[in-house]
Amino acid sequence: MNFSKKTRLSEEVEKGVRYLLTGLTLILILSGGLYLINISTSSQMGYEFRQQELQNNDLINKNNQLKLKVLEATSFTELHLQAENSGLIEADNIQYFESREERLSRN
């Protein structure tokens, strides 16, 4: 403490009030800046999430369309039509190859 220079109490109070106002102003500026950064980041993340969600829906639709095409291509009637168009005929007498053990086990 400096006892040689005397200051008035009102001056000390004014000085304290200035420090307090400066501190509060800095806190308000910093918290406002952090709030704006937080809002901006949240908005950006929400936008990216929505874009990913839309892309996911598109991929699900394409997947469903491809599954439908596979089902149509492997349907019984489609296979017969393709076989007829290719000139294939249905076998009358079907014979399968058997191993020796299968033939012996049958007898």
Query: Is pTM, for the whole model, over 0.75?
Result: no
Domain ranges across the chain:
9-88
pLDDT at 43: 94
Beta-carbon contacts of 8 under 8 Å, excluding residues fewer than 6 positions away, are: none
> What is the per-residue pLDDT across 57-70, written as a single tens digit (0 to 9) for each?
999 999 999 999 99
Alpha-carbon span 84 to 88, nearest angstrom = 6
